[in-house]
Amino acid sequence: MHSGTAVTPQLRVLFTRDQIARRVTEMADDITRDFAGQSIIFVGVLKGASIFLGDLARQVKLDATFDFISVASYGAGTKTSGEVRMNKDVDSSMADKNVIIVEDILDTGLTMGFLRKLFLAHQPRSLKVAVLLDKACRRIEPVKADYVGFVIPDEFVVGYGMDYAERYRNLPDICVLPPQLQSA
Ligand code: PRP
């Protein structure tokens, strides 16, 4: 049993490592059932999804491979610019593969909208989306994930792969970053 106490005292724990582990196992069980007897490829969206992908993939009992893509949103420092740019493409062909895009968080949906179009152009056998967190109230582009860990309110979350200015990714719990720390 963990205390759930974060390294930085001002951080409020939203989901403990134990809660995350339980939910990730449930998601992995769903994927194992849905793709029984088939191979899949997990495509992680760097960098935030890296820890989630590692935990999810280790619980899935299927023949699986990994690939990674890196994208970034630009424009006036916000994520609502609608402009998504690719920094690193996948290494392998997605043609005729069962592709599962793995994301830490679905926010406006602009990144996932961009990725879905990109991957559908590869003509995969199937294309699914797994997200740990869904800020459904923030959606601009109407995308939906097939596997969702938790639906969360509009709060700035860090930990378990997610950052603020590249910090906090290594926190084992998912925490809310209060506004007073958002300029620190
Ligand atoms: C986060 C997250 C998604 C995107 C979601 O990435 O990993 O890729 O934002 O936002 P959207 O739904 O509004 O498009 P971020 O840009 O923080 O990069 P990171 O994963 O490297 O931290």
Q: Is 98 in the pocket of ligand 1 (CB under 6 A)?
A: no
Q: pTM for this structure?
A: 0.93
Cα 13 to Cα 47: distance, rounded to the nearest angstrom: 21
Residue 107 known to be catalytic: yes
pLDDT at 8 over 70: yes
Cα 153 to Cα 134: distance, rounded to the nearest angstrom: 9
Q: What is the pLDDT of residues 139-171, one digit of tens each?
A: 999 999 999 999 999 999 999 999 999 999 999
Q: Count other C-beta atoms under 10 Å from residue 15's C-beta.
A: 22
Q: What is the pLDDT of residues 103-139, one digit of tens each?
A: 999 999 999 999 999 999 999 999 999 999 999 999 9
Cα 98 to Cα 65: distance, rounded to the nearest angstrom: 10
The one-letter code for the residue type at 140 is: I
Distance (angstroms) between ligand 1 centre and the Cα of 111 equals: 7
Show the domains of the chain with their CATH numbers. Answer: 18-153 (3.40.50.2020)
Q: What is the pLDDT of residues 13-50, one digit of tens each?
A: 999 999 999 999 999 999 999 999 999 999 999 999 99
